[in-house]
Amino acid sequence: MGGDGSEFLQRDFSETYERYHVESLQNMSKQELVKEYLELEKCLSRMEEENNRLRMESKKHGGETADKARVQQLELEVDRLRAENLQLLKEKDLPRQEKGPCQLGE
């Protein structure tokens, strides 16, 4: 069986399950339906809370990752600027060293 066969089986299972579910709901009393509805509401509420918690956790970790990446980027920039500063200081001191102490007084 290829991909089409598994899709057919999946669809067939879904249709069969849906028919069974509809039949079982039709056979329930009003009180049983209300109870089932309330249970589904509780489950939905728990799932929404879990979803919100996971979203907040994801944002928190995403923010931390972004902050860490930004800090690392800034540290690299500071290192680059320090190296550039050292190079500029060396270049600034080079003309003095080339002239030597005797040439400064002339």
Number of domains in the chain: 2
- Is residue 27 located within the same domain as residue 50? yes
- Is residue 47 located within the same domain as residue 79? no
Q: What is the pLDDT of residue 67?
A: 74
- Is residue 54 located within the same domain as residue 69? no
pTM of the model: 0.46
**Enclosing domain of residue 13:** 9-61
Q: What is the pLDDT of residue 49?
A: 94
* DSSP 8-state secondary structure symbol assigned to residue 27: T
pLDDT tens per residue, range 1-35:
456 788 899 999 999 999 998 999 899 999 999 99
User: Going along 1-106, which residue ranges are E strands?
Assistant: none
106 pLDDT tier (thresholds 50, 70, 90): very low
Report the percentage of the chain scoring pLDDT > 90: 44
Say how far apart CA 72 and CA 59 lie, in whole Å: 20
- Is residue 14 located within the same domain as residue 53? yes
Structural tokens at position 19: 């028919």
